[in-house]
Amino acid sequence: MAGDSSFDIVSKINRQEVDNALNQTSKEIGTRFDFRGVGASIAWSGDQAVEIKANAEERANAVLDVFKEKLVRRQVSLKVLDAGEPKPSGKEYRLHVALKEGISQDDARKISKIIRDEGPKGVRAQVQGDELRVFSKKKDELQSVQQLLKGKELEIALQFVNYR
């Protein structure tokens, strides 16, 4: 086969799984004894964020823990969450949790540097918007790049798509 093999490195969120986790968390908050009477709630706040409300800072953090547990069960990486600190708002505390999607230019540079420095010699990485395309003549080299990146502790959740 002539030509290069390639795959894309992306950071995408499965919206349906996050929505399901949010709904399960909301149900659990409604039924659990320790959340009775604390005004705890969790809901979408725009397209890329979730807002948690409760009458105590500890309860807001407890709702966040339940949400994280539901995300893990649905195989959604916790690296997509960018949770702030609970802030008082009137008589309740609000916790804003942003969802990170896409690879920033800085992260793309870091990843391509890792591939250049530690990966096989015949591998090239190219930034394309909010994703990264990795090329090589050999598919084995592409697989070793994937293993290399899975072993690294990066701040973003990575998925490997578009194998060619």
Contact 134, 124 (CB under 8 A): yes
Q: How far apart are CA 75 and CA 130, in angstroms?
A: 22
User: What pLDDT band is residue 38 in, cutting at 50, 70 and 90?
Assistant: confident
Output DSSP code: residue 79: G
CA quadruple 32, 34, 39, 42: dihedral sign? negative
- What domains are defined for the chain? 5-12+103-161 (3.30.70.860), 15-99 (3.30.70.990)
| Residue among 7, 9, 19 nearest 102 (CA) | 9
Q: How far apart are CA 143 and CA 73, in angstroms?
A: 27
**158 backbone dihedrals φ, ψ, rounded to 5°:** -110, 145
The model carries a pTM of 0.83
pLDDT at 53: 93
Task: Express each pLDDT in 40-60 by its tens digit.
Answer: 999 999 888 999 999 989 999
Task: Express each pLDDT in 96-127 by its tens digit.
Answer: 999 988 888 888 889 888 888 888 888 888 88
